Amino acid sequence: MRGEGLAIVGPRPGTLQLFANVSGSVDDKGICQCSVYLPDTTFPVQQAERLEIIATTLSAKFESELSQVREYAKLVTLYQQKILNLTIRVEHMESSSVSYTELDFQLLKAEISDLDRLVTQLKSSLVGSNVIVEQIYMEIRNMTILVSELESMDKNNILAIRRQIVSLQNRLKECEENANKTTVPPYFPPGSCTHGGLLNVSQPYVVKLNWRGFSYKYGSWGRDYSPSNPENEFYWVAPLNTDGRLLEYYRIYSSFDNLLLFQQTYESRITYGEGSGVALYNNFLYYHAYNTRYMVKHDIRRNTMVLQKELQDAVIGNRFSYAGVSWQTLDFAVDENGLWVIYSTENNMGNIVISKLNETTLDVLNTWQTRQYKPSVSNAFMVCGVLYATRPVNTRKEEIFYMYDTTTGQEGRTSIVMEKKLDTIQSINYNPADQKLYVYNDGYLLRYDAIFQP
């Protein structure tokens, strides 16, 4: 018996045939047999190499196109931001009643022309269509038309606006010239109160860092005022310990030059004062005794305590201290009228209380209660019986904003800006002999000229 079967045959020379019908035969046991040609098992190396070359070429082209797309994406983002800026400017021109000069329109048109050129170039470099670029292109075209319309509408007002601009420029120039003129402030004899009160202060003169170093941020300094001998020069510098509370050491300088050269007349230790509300008046140092209501009068020549007296009703224990300045519950001040103390009481609900003191006995001669809350004030000082209080504006400016006249009992507002070098002003002392403010600013000694109004 013969049979036929479908078999896979190998390619013979000159043929690409994979399948073929072949003749078979049946053996004695009835099993069908046929011959089969198997495919050639040799690996197609040449085809694989061609395929690898094609894949490498396609990969390089893909990376190149992807790099261009990234660059285009960056450019599109940049152009979108520029168009947004231009759109805002044009919308402002539409909504505003202010006329624009022809130069403004020329600048706008130049920017839009640059954008038009860049987007046109981008369009030509992209293969196929890109929706974002087409939108940008159309927005630029619309913006060009809009600017042209605005320019034509605005030409009627250009001359009037130019006249206004010239007028404003002349007024600005006049203001600058007046501001640059150096005016000599009126002179008032030291120790007199014939002026109309504080008008301004000068720029600060940075004298030096306190003698104990930068870590001693709290303290006070100033010049002694002796009504009988106003030419006398004694300067004190009293940094508190680093806890910002304990007053232990102070130095006395016999002249300003000696202070600059660290040539102290003597250095003394007291036990103990509290806070930076120190004042030097007629060779006596006045300070707050540590953790008490006592006011202390200290002889700087003999370095001895002469007298102490309790200030009734004064709040202590760091309650109602100045803003940003701890432990200054009693603040002594000196002016043309003598010695004062600035503090708070519970009865006055933390508002500033001013008491005039007898410098010999420390008796309270008179007291005034203000309506200014003491913890909202950064510091205070007295000039001719008028209390001036400060508050911080920012890290480099302080404002003298409040005043209370003990002569009339009237309080008021003012605005005098004081430049400062660091954040916090720990103390301010006024001296009538030279009409200067002595400021302790985060460890640095600053000095200001007080300028008075006629």
176-181: average pLDDT: 61
Average pLDDT over all residues of the chain: 82
Which of 277, 293, 208, 209 is closest to 244 using CA atoms? 277
Which pLDDT belongs to residue 60? 79
Residues 6+ apart with CB under 8 A from 402: 372, 377, 387, 388, 389, 391, 411, 412, 413, 414
pLDDT, mean of residues 126-138: 60
Between 61-70, 288-297, 403-412, 435-444, the lowest mean confidence (pLDDT) is in: 61-70
> What is the per-residue pLDDT for 56?
79
Q: What is the pLDDT of residues 270-329, one digit of tens each?
A: 989 999 999 999 999 999 999 999 999 999 999 999 999 999 999 999 999 999 899 999
DSSP code of residue 434? T
Residue 178, φ and ψ in degrees, nearest 5: -65, -35
Minimal CA–CA distance to 305: which of 280, 287, 331, 282? 287
Q: Report the SS3 class of residue 306.
A: strand
Is the entire prediction scored with pTM above 0.85? no
Q: Tell me yes or no: is domain 197-453 CATH 1.10.3720.10.
A: no
Task: Indicate the range of 89-93, 178-182, 189-193 predicted with least confidence.
Answer: 178-182
**What type of residue is 276?**
S
pLDDT value at residue 39: 56
Residue 279 main-chain phi, psi, to 5 deg:
-140, 150
6 pLDDT tier (thresholds 50, 70, 90): very low
Average pLDDT over residues 234-256: 95
Q: In this structure, are residues 287 and 334 in contact, taking their beta carbons and an 8 Å threshold?
A: no
Distances from the Cα of 46 to the Cα of 12, 34, 442, angstroms: 20, 34, 84
284 strand-pairing partners: 281, 299
pLDDT at 133: 61
pLDDT at 2: 44
Instruction: Look at 31 and 315; give whichever has higher pLDDT.
Output: 315
Question: Please, which pLDDT band fits residue 148 given cuts at 50, 70 and 90?
Answer: low
Residue 378's pLDDT is what? Answer: 96
Residue 33: its pLDDT value, please?
A: 75
Give the pLDDT mean for 50-69: 76
Q: What percent of the chain has pLDDT over 70?
A: 71
Mean pLDDT of the region 417-423: 94
Mean pLDDT for 198-221 is 95
Does residue 8 register a pLDDT over 70? Answer: no
Model confidence pLDDT, tens digit, residues 367-400: 999 999 999 999 999 999 999 999 999 999 999 9
Region 134-159 average pLDDT: 61
Is the bond into 272 cis (omega within 30 degrees of 0)? yes
Average pLDDT over residues 226-231: 89
Phi (first) and psi of residue 186, to 5 degrees: -65, 145
**If phi over 0 gives left and psi between -120 and 50 gives alpha, with beta otherwise, what is residue 245?**
alpha
Rounded CA gap, 204 and 217, in Å? 18
Give ∠ CA 272-278-283 in degrees, rounded to 5.
95
Q: If you ran DSSP here, which 8-state letter would residue 442 be given? A: T
Q: Which residues contact 89 (CB under 8 A, 6 or more apart)?
A: 108
Q: What pLDDT score was predicted for residue 1?
A: 44
